[in-house]
Amino acid sequence: MPTTPSRPFPRRRRIALPVCCALATLAAPRPAGACTNFLVTRGASVDGSTMVTYSADSHVRYGELYLRRGGTWPAGATVKLFDRGDARPLGEIPQAAKTYNVIGFMNENQVAIGESTFGGRKELEDKTGIVDYGSLMFLAMDRSRTAREAIRTIAELVAEHGYASTGESFSIGDPDEVWIMEIIGKGTDPVLDQKSNRQVNRDKGAVWVAIRIPDGQISAHANHARITTFPLENGTTSISSRHLGKLSDPRVEVVYSHDVVDFARRKGYFSGRDEEFRFADAYAPMDFGAARFCEVRVWSFFKGLCTGMDSYLDHVKGKDLANRLPLSVKPDRKVSVSDLMAAKRDHLEGTELDMRLDTGAGPFGLPYRWRPLTWELEGKTYVNERATATQQTGFSYVAQMRKWLPAPIGGILWFGVDDASSTVYMPMYCGITRVPESLAEGNGDLLAYSDTAAFWTFSKVANFSYLRYDLMSQDVRRVQQELETKYLAQVPAIDAAAGSLLEKEPVRARELLTDYSGSVAASTVRRWEELFRHLLVKYIDGNVKKERDGRFERNEWGFPKPPAHPGYPEAWKRRVVEEAGEKLLQPK
């Protein structure tokens, strides 16, 4: 029978190991605080878009744009599943009769998915399951026309084949609505199956809850479970997995696995009344790390758009674990794509946790801390802050779904590679048929440098700018804003041009979108390579070359003018004097 890999096998030009596959999961232990998702409903956005963001923050994740081609499949076709963290085979399941094209994390129907791992209770990892969180994401996009269909697909897959990952939060959106779905396995409890005479897992599957974010509100999750209480089955707005067929009813706002409460009781995680059940408390209890490293990112996003968030400061500092953030909030103003791009670049600026302001930032205000997140000195444990923007991001995106446009045009994946703070979000339409070469799978990886890969070009600029962040970050932001402002302004014209072709010449319309997204990627990488060369010349050896109108200054005979020597800020000088002043003091 035909067999399809669960991810497109990349064109590995320089390597043999498929480390960065579109359908491999991370079941192995993951660095604390790995991914950040923001969700915006239609009524909360400037233009009526729904939006979902995702940052793939991992020390082993490479920045590339996945392409999965849809099609029709014969009876008996299967799909192979691979682990998202190490590419090991997990198993094989039946293929759907029809699948859809997927660009990155959005399919051709404008269904987009993001994730963050919350881990949860370690004993609930199922060693017998074969469908991991990455498989769920891509299989759901392969097979779904709406967010509700994606939720149903995930629920049915884990029930039939078992869940192979730890606790996970999914952001699932389409042009109408956005949902948060949280899921965790049920552990491994082997029993003898009388029919096959083989050991099987008695608790196969997962427990989960999915909630639609109310229109007009925003939400977020960042590596800790966020769903607490939820209305139990009432047949109209809340249903259990026994009635998944009702999920297509637009009145349904909550759906959950039928045993989500009973299983928690059996395991001893919960003993109250059913209506008091809190998913997060039962399956991923709050602790200091969850608040300080995870919830702080949700809080910072909310704080940037809503008043009243200061009341949760002690919670995100890990001092008041009971004062949980709400699952969703109404923003003070409508949210734009640009707002979400800015939120992806947050380092807790403007708060007392601002990463630029303590000694760990060095003399030049570097808002990054190299891992590990916690460290010890003289028997005491200390922490580094974990902000939304982080150095180990492989890629991130803002998925924008626009109901008023045909699907191939309406869906845009604003896609960027490497550190979100210094990336450029490039518009990749969900109707494109090819991935730009600079973003293509197999064009380099974390162990293989490629001159033509966007990831390595952006990584060069980011890592060099870390050396003198206070100055170089300004140059980076200037070009970043120049490009993103241009692309945001171009999109309406591209929408209109493709829209005029789509009905009579759909192939040409898709080609126009493909060519545009490809030209954006190519010109962005060229401009970023120019930026790297400019930064290298301007800041080499700790000096700062003089510029006028974007050109380095020379004297009347063509010789370089003497550079500036910016030195160190006053606060840093004081720290040096406190530590080594006597040794460095010049005698009078």
- Considering the domain architecture, whether residues 340 and 461 belong to the same structural domain is answered as no
Q: What is the pLDDT of residue 86?
A: 81
Secondary element (H or E) of residue 459: helix 454-465
Banded pLDDT at 84 (limits 50, 70, 90): confident
Q: Encode pLDDT of 467-489 as tens digits.
A: 999 999 999 999 999 999 999 99
Q: Encode pLDDT of 401-453 as tens digits.
A: 999 999 999 999 999 999 999 999 999 999 999 999 999 999 999 999 999 99
> How many structural domains are present in the chain?
3
Average pLDDT over residues 521-539: 98
- Considering the domain architecture, whether residues 438 and 294 belong to the same structural domain is answered as no
Is 450 among the domain residues?
Answer: yes
Q: What is the pLDDT of residue 305?
A: 98
259: containing domain: 19-98+113-355
- Considering the domain architecture, whether residues 37 and 177 belong to the same structural domain is answered as yes
- Report in angstroms the alpha-carbon separations of 218 from 42, 212, 232, 235, 557: 10, 11, 23, 26, 59
- Residue 230 DSSP code: -
- Considering the domain architecture, whether residues 563 and 533 belong to the same structural domain is answered as no
Q: What is the pLDDT of residue 25?
A: 32
> How far is residue 239's CA from residue 217's CA, in Å, rounded to a whole number?
22
Mean pLDDT score of the chain: 92
Is 326 among the domain residues?
Answer: yes
Is 385 among the domain residues?
Answer: no
- Considering the domain architecture, whether residues 336 and 476 belong to the same structural domain is answered as no
pLDDT(583) > 80: yes
> How far is residue 391's CA from residue 422's CA, in Å, rounded to a whole number?
10
> How far is residue 68's CA from residue 85's CA, in Å, rounded to a whole number?
19
Average pLDDT over residues 226-240: 96
- Considering the domain architecture, whether residues 519 and 556 belong to the same structural domain is answered as no
| Residue 530 neighbours by CB under 8 Å, 6+ apart | none
Q: What is the pLDDT of residue 402?
A: 98
% of the chain at pLDDT higher than 70: 93
Q: What is the pLDDT of residue 193?
A: 66
Q: Which long-range contacts (CB under 8 A, 24 or more apart) does 144-148 make?
A: 144/100, 144/107, 144/109, 144/111, 145/100, 145/109, 145/111, 146/109, 146/111, 146/174, 146/176, 147/111, 147/172, 147/173, 147/174, 147/176, 147/177, 147/178, 147/179, 148/179, 148/247, 148/248, 148/252
- Give the DSSP letter string of 395-430: EEEEEEE-TTS-HHHH-EEEEEES-GGG---EEEET
* Residue 342 CB-half CA count within 13 A: 13
- Considering the domain architecture, whether residues 209 and 296 belong to the same structural domain is answered as yes
- Considering the domain architecture, whether residues 228 and 305 belong to the same structural domain is answered as yes
Is 381 among the domain residues?
Answer: no
- Considering the domain architecture, whether residues 30 and 119 belong to the same structural domain is answered as yes
- Considering the domain architecture, whether residues 187 and 200 belong to the same structural domain is answered as yes
Q: Encode pLDDT of 4-58 as tens digits.
A: 555 433 343 332 222 233 333 323 333 344 799 999 999 999 999 999 999 999 9
Q: What is the pLDDT of residue 235?
A: 86
Q: Encode pLDDT of 501-520 as tens digits.
A: 999 999 999 999 999 999 99
Q: What is the pLDDT of residue 13?
A: 34
Is 150 among the domain residues?
Answer: yes
Is 378 among the domain residues?
Answer: no
Of 325, 355, 385, which residue is a domain's last?
355
Chain position carrying tokens 């630029």:
356
Is 14 among the domain residues?
Answer: no
- Considering the domain architecture, whether residues 147 and 230 belong to the same structural domain is answered as yes
- Considering the domain architecture, whether residues 210 and 334 belong to the same structural domain is answered as yes
Q: What is the pLDDT of residue 33?
A: 40
Q: Encode pLDDT of 256-307 as tens digits.
A: 999 999 999 999 999 999 999 999 999 999 999 999 999 999 999 999 999 9
Q: Encode pLDDT of 178-225 as tens digits.
A: 999 999 999 987 776 667 666 677 789 999 999 999 999 999 999 999
Is 77 among the domain residues?
Answer: yes
